[in-house]
Amino acid sequence: MNPNLAHNKEILVFLLTSLGLIVLPHVTHLPWGVFGFFSFLLAWRFIGIWKPEKLPSFPWIVFLIVCGMAVLYTQHRGILGRDGGTSLFVIALGLKLMEIKTERDLYLINYLAFIVAASQFLYEQSILMAVYIVFVSCVLLATLVFINSHIADTTVSLKKAAAIIAQAIPMAIIVFIFFPRVEPPKWLWFNDPQQKKTGLSDTMEPGSISDLGMSDELVFRVKFEGALPPPKNRYWRGPVLTLTDGKKWVQARDFTYQRYLDKPKFSGPFYRYTLLMEPQEKDWVFALDLPAEFTKPLAQNANYQLTTSDDLRKRTEFKLTSYPTYNTGYLTKTEYKDARQLPALPSERIKQLVTQLHGYDRPPEEYITRLLNHFRKEDFHYTLTPPLMEDNPIETFLFETRYGFCSHYASAFVYLLRVAGIPARVVTGYQGGVYNELGNFLEIKQADAHAWTEVWLENKGWARFDPTAAVAPERVEKNIDINSLVPNGAINYAAPDSSLAALNLLKQARKLWGHIDYNWQRWVINYNNANQSIFLSSFGINDFKTMVYWMMAIVGIITAVLSLILLYQKPKQIDPELAVYNRFLKKLAKQGYVKQPGEGASDFAERIKPLLTEQVDNIENITSAFIMQRYGNNPSDEGLKKLSKLVSLFKL
C-alpha cells in the first residue's frame, strides 16, 4: 500500500464526501458567509485530490486563515454562543482540509467532523435529524475503517462501520436511560437574534390571527388521562384582551384587583391531562378553559390565564386539571370599568342596531341571543381573507363588508355588548386540535389560533360566547382543515366522506408520524432529570446509587454478550480420521514431540522415528494407516477402526 495514506485518492474522496454530508444540514442555520467559505475550501480540496499542485502554499494558507477569521467576526462578532461556536468549528474544519500532509491529519479531521456532526443537535433534535446523524457517523466511521484496512473497499468499510454502530446502539440506549442527567447551563439559552417564533401575540388587530391561520406549525400536544372533552369545549385559554382603541385590542394594564377576585366555583366533570408545549417565546401556557389545578412554576393571572416562570424556549411538560363548567363569581370595580371601556362614543348607526336588537331595554341574555341570531341570519360570512378595513373596522365590518373571521366577530360582538353597557372582553388562544388515534393525544397547531369572547353575567360570572360559532359552527365544532382551503381564501367545509382514499392514507400516515414524533419528543428530547426519575422509579430504581449500579450491570451484560458473539468461533467439523490422528499427536506432544503446523504426517514420522527407536513400528503403522485413510484412494470404515485401535494401543 501507499506508505503515505494522506495522498491516497480513494481515502480522500471518501473523507471529503463524508465531510460534505456532515456540514450539509447546517445550511439552514449557518450564515451564508460561513457556509460558502467552507464549501469553497471543500471544493478546492476536491480539486486538489487530482491536482495537488493547485493546493495553497503556506502564505496562501495564512491568508485563508485571516479570511476565515474575518468571516467569523463579521457574521458573529466573536466565537461565543451556539452559532459562533459552530461556525468556528466549521471554518476550522475547512481550513484544516488545506493541509492534509500525514495520516495524523486524516484522523484529526475525522474527529473534528464528529464534533461538527454532534453540533447539529444544538439546532434540531428531530427524529429524522437523529437518523441522519447516525448515518453520517456511520460514513465517518467507515472512513476510519477504510484508512486502517489493507483492503480498500467502500462497501466493506461501510458494512463494518454499520456493524460497529449497530453494536454501539444498545449501549448508547442504556447509557441514555441510566446516565445521570445534567441540566444544561443557562448560557446555552443565550438569545440568538436569528430565531423568531411565530405565535399568538398579546395584542389583536384585524388580521393578526389570520397570519397564523395557514401555519401548520405545532404549538402543543395534550394527552388526556380519561375521555377527551367534546370539540365544542376545546378552548385553550391564552391572553385576555380588554382594552381597545377601536382597532387594536390589548390586555388590561392594571391587575392589582386580582386579590379581590372571587375564587371560581367548579362543578361537573373534569379533565386531567398532560400538556407538552413546543418551544415558544412567551411564558404562556394554554390550559383548557378553565384550569383548576396546577403546580409550580405555573401561576394564574387575574384573567385566569396560566403563565410559567420556567423557560419556555425548550419543550416543557405540565400536568393540569380543568373544569369546563365554572362560575367566576363577582366582578371587581376595575374589571367592570375595563370591560365596558369604549374608544369613543358610538355612532348613530351602532346605537340604532343596538336599539333594534333590544340592547337597552332587555336582559343581557336575551340581547346576546338576538345578537348571535343577527350574525347568523344576516348576510355574514366567514373567511380568512377579508377585505381591508382601514378606518373604523368594527363599523365597516358590521354594516358594509360583512366578511371576516374570529377576531372580527369577537371584537364586533364585544363592542356591541359594551355599547349596551354589558361588561365583555375578548379572549385569545387556541380552539380545537386534531386527535391522533395512534398516540391518543390532541395536536394543536398555529392554525387553531382563535378569538372568542367572555361576558360577565349575574349569577354566572364570566361566561364564554363564541360569535364565530354563530356564523361558522363548523369552525368550532369540527376543525378547519387547512388542506381543504380553497384558493380564493374562503373555507371549504367539505364533508369528510368525499375525500379520496389516498388522502385518507396520507392523513393516516401523518397521524402515525405525529405519534412517533410525540413519543420522540416526550421520551427522548424531554427526558430530563424529572422524567428520568419518574421513569426509573416505575422500575423501582429510586436513588442515584442504584441507578449507576443498574447502568454498569446492563452495560456489562451487553459487553459480555457482544464479546461472546465476537469471540466465539464455531468449532470446525473435524474428520474422524483426523480426530484419531490428533489423539496420537497429543500423546506424542505430552512427551515433547510436537508436529509443526506445516509438517506432513510422513515427514513427522521420519523425524521422530530416530528419537523413539522402540516405537518405530507403531509410528510407521499409525502414519501409514492415517495417510491411507486421509489421502488414500479408498478409505474404509475398517481402516478407520484399525487406525483408532492402533492409536489406542500406542503408549509412550
Partner 1 sequence: MQNDIQRLLEAANQIILGKDRQIRLAVCCLLARGHLLIEDIPGVGKTTLAHTLARLLGMNYQRIQFTSDILPADIIGASVFDSKNHEFKFHPGPIFNQMVLADEINRSTPKAQSALLEAMEEHQVTVEGVTYSLPEPFFVIATQNPSHQIGTFPLPESQLDRFLMRIELGYPDPKSERLLLTGQNRHHLIQTLSEQIAPQQLQALQQAVTGVHVSNALLDYCQGIINFTRESSEYHCGLSPRAGLALLTAAKAWTYMDNRDAVIPEDLQAVLASVAGHRLRSGNNDSEAIVAPILAKVAVH
Residue 627 engages partner 1 in binding (rule: CB under 8 A): yes
Considering only CA atoms, which of 586, 580, 579 is closest in space to residue 652?
586
Q: Which of 621, 630, 639, 642 binds partner 1 (CB under 8 A)?
A: 630
Nearer to partner 1, 147 or 252 (CB): 147
Query: How far is it, in rounded angstroms, from Cα 416 to Cα 207?
Result: 20
The reply on whether position 599 binds partner 1 by CB under 8 A is yes
Closest by alpha carbon to 85, among 19, 41, 127, 26? 26
Residues 6+ apart with CB under 8 A from 410: 426, 427, 451, 452, 453, 466, 467, 468
Q: What span, in angstroms and rounded, lies between the C-alpha atoms of 80 and 87?
A: 10
Between 217 and 575, CB nearer to partner 1: 575
Minimum distance from residue 599 beta carbon to partner 1 (Å): 6
Question: For strand 298-300 and strand 306-308, is the pairing parallel, antiparallel, or unpaired?
Answer: antiparallel
Chosen residue from 147, 161, 601, 622 binding partner 1 by CB under 8 A? 601
Stretch of 3-11, 389-397, 562-570, 630-638 contacting partner 1, by CB under 8 A: 630-638
Peptide bond into 290 cis (omega under 30): yes
Binder among 3, 268, 597, 610 for partner 1 (CB under 8 A): 597
In the block, residue with C-alpha cell 500406542: 650
**Which letter, b or e, does each residue of 591-600 get, where b requires 16 or more Cβ atoms within 10 Å of its Cβ?**
eebebeeeee
Question: Taking the complex as a whole, how short is the minimal distance between the CB of residue 615 and partner 1, in angstroms?
Answer: 20
Q: Which is nearer to partner 1, 333 or 570 (CB)?
A: 570
Instruction: Using the rule CB under 8 A, give the single segment among 88-96, 471-479, 509-517, 594-602 that binds partner 1.
Output: 594-602
The Cα-based distances of 41 to 92, 146, 148, 388 in angstroms read 11, 23, 26, 51
| Helices and strands per DSSP (H, E), number in the chain | 22, 21
| C-beta closer to partner 1: residue 19 or 601 | 601
Size of the site for partner 1 (CB under 8 A): 18
Q: How far is the CB of 635 from partner 1 (least distance, A)?
A: 8
Q: Dihedral sign, CA of 269, 270, 272, 275?
A: positive
Among 3, 268, 598, 610, binds partner 1 (CB under 8 A): 598
Backbone φ, ψ for residue 321 (5° rounding): -130, 135
Q: What is the DSSP string of 243-310?
A: EESSS-EE--S--GGGGGSPPPEEES--EEEEEEEPP-SS-EE-EESSEEE--TTEEE-TTS-EEESS
193 part of the interface to partner 1, by CB under 8 A: no
Q: Which is closer to partner 1, CB of 551 or CB of 601?
A: 601
Cβ–Cβ contacts within 10 Å for residue 109, how many?
Answer: 20
Per-position x/- string for 333-372, each x denoting binding to partner 1 as judged by CB under 8 A, each - no binding: ----------------------------------------
609 contributes a contact to partner 1 by CB under 8 A: no
Pick the stretch among 171-179, 361-369, 556-564, 601-609 that binds partner 1 (CB under 8 A): 601-609
Supply the minimum distance, in Å, between the C-beta of residue 622 and partner 1. 14
Give the SS3 label for residue 490: strand
Find the binder of partner 1 among 602, 615, 618, 621 (CB under 8 A): 602
Ranges within 446-485 binding partner 1 (CB under 8 A): none
- Residue 107, amino acid: Y
Q: How far is the CB of 516 from partner 1 (least distance, A)?
A: 47
| CA distance readout (Å), 603 to 12, 252, 607, 619 | 51, 106, 6, 12
User: Interface mask (CB under 8 A) for partner 1, residues 562-581, using x and -?
Assistant: -------------x--x---
Q: How far apart are CA 258 and CA 253, in angstroms?
A: 12
150-189: which residues touch partner 1 (CB under 8 A)?
Answer: 150
Compare residues 134 and 578 and give the one whose CB is closer to partner 1. 578
The residue range among 100-108, 357-365, 481-489, 623-631 that interacts with partner 1, by the rule CB under 8 A, is 623-631
Q: Rounded to the nearest whole angstrom, what is the least distance from the CB of residue 74 to partner 1 in the complex?
A: 53
Cα–Cα distance, 523 to 544 (Å, whole number):
20
CB of 6 to partner 1, least distance (A): 21
Q: Is 633 in the site for partner 1 (CB under 8 A)?
A: yes
The residue ranges that bind partner 1 (CB under 8 A) are: 150, 575, 578, 596-603, 627-628, 630-633, 635
